[in-house]
């Protein structure tokens, strides 16, 4: 995956196949009652196509493109297919005019995950969520236990704490620099302002003061891997502890020394090692 602007790529209902030395990639548009979603799948040649694939949930400013080369590395490392998609309003998915729904985290699992599974023909999947995507992955595991075989959260927030909001305020100031905004626009195009406002306005709103995953975590019965950077700017070590202590299935927590909010980019080999160890222990 390169950093070239992805908003110029065509959106069609057809599936385009692009072969590399070891990976076959197909991109598609998934029609939903709420709007069209852009999705991409990485399939390793000679991989186990019967094994549960990974379904990636991006962060508050993320997109398929912003996963960069991690999906391909994950597919090659595990021998499993990897699927990533742009949430509605993000990346190459359809734009959204109205403000983001305050219940956008549980609604993602409720509205879109069954449709994505049906489009790709997924009977089971491994939910992998980064940052707020981790909360969406948690809800997916709780709402769809028959489909979610394993859960992996990375730098996920389980509740609102001052560190989270302080980090967002610092980022808000940073994005007043047009150059920073332009960098984000390479992935979201005309949606960029909506993407940024959705992140800032939701997490800093009074309505979000008491948001947490506390009520949903006990409904997670599948094995769970909780990854968190020791120096995460948006969440203290209390965040992964809350997740690990809240789920009812088998759980493994890894506090990654010296890493920040994006471990899969900062230390991809370490993250892949932790994931491979986890799925070896709990085959899906």
pLDDT, tens digit, 9 for 90 and up, residues 64-106: 999 999 999 999 999 999 999 999 999 999 999 999 999 999 9
> Quick one: average pLDDT of 48-53?
86
> Quick one: average pLDDT of 192-216?
96
Q: Which of 6-10, 16-20, 96-100, 255-259 has the lowest mean pLDDT?
A: 6-10
- Res. 243: pLDDT tops 70: yes
pLDDT, tens digit, 9 for 90 and up, residues 14-32: 444 554 559 999 999 999 9
- Res. 49: pLDDT tops 90: no
Instruction: Supply the pLDDT for residue 19.
Output: 46
Structure confidence at residue 197 as a pLDDT band (50, 70, 90): very high
Instruction: Supply the pLDDT for residue 3.
Output: 34
Instruction: Supply the pLDDT for residue 10.
Output: 33
Under CATH, to which class is 16-281 assigned? Answer: alpha beta
- Res. 6: pLDDT tops 90: no
Structure confidence at residue 50 as a pLDDT band (50, 70, 90): confident
Domain boundaries, the chain: 16-281
> Quick one: average pLDDT of 166-195?
95
> Quick one: average pLDDT of 28-52?
92
Q: What percent of the chain clears pLDDT 70, i.e. is strictly above it?
A: 93
Instruction: Supply the pLDDT for residue 170.
Output: 95
10 Å Cβ neighbour count for 174?
10
Average pLDDT taken over every residue of the chain: 92
Residue 191 vs residue 6, higher pLDDT: 191
């Amino acid at each position: 995956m390169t950093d070239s602007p992805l908003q110029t790529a065509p959106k069609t209902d057809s599936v385009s196949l692009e072969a590399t030395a070891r990976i076959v990639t197909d991109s598609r548009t998934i029609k939903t009652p709420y709007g069209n979603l852009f999705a991409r799948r990485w399939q390793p040649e000679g991989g186990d196509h019967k094994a549960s694939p990974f379904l990636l949930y991006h962060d508050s400013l993320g997109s398929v493109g912003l996963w960069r080369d991690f999906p391909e590395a994950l597919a090659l490392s595990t021998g499993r297919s990897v699927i990533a998609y742009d949430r509605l309003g993000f990346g190459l998915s359809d734009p959204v005019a109205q403000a983001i729904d305050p219940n956008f985290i549980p609604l993602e699992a409720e509205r879109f995950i069954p449709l994505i599974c049906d489009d790709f023909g997924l009977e089971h999947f491994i939910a992998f969520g980064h940052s707020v995507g981790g909360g969406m992955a948690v809800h997916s595991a709780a709402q769809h236990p028959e489909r979610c075989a394993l859960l992996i959260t990375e730098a996920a927030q389980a509740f609102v704490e001052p560190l989270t909001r302080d980090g967002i305020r610092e980022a808000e100031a940073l994005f007043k620099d047009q150059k920073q905004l332009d960098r984000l626009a390479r992935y979201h195009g005309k949606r960029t302002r909506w993407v940024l406002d959705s992140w800032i306005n939701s997490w800093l709103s009074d309505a979000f003061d008491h948001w947490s995953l506390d009520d949903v975590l006990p409904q997670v019965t599948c094995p769970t891997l909780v990854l968190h950077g020791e120096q995460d700017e948006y969440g203290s070590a209390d965040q992964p502890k809350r997740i690990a202590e809240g789920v009812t299935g088998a759980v493994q927590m890894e506090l990654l020394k010296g890493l920040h909010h994006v471990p899969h980019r900062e230390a991809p080999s370490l993250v892949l090692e932790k994931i491979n160890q986890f799925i070896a222990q709990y085959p899906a």
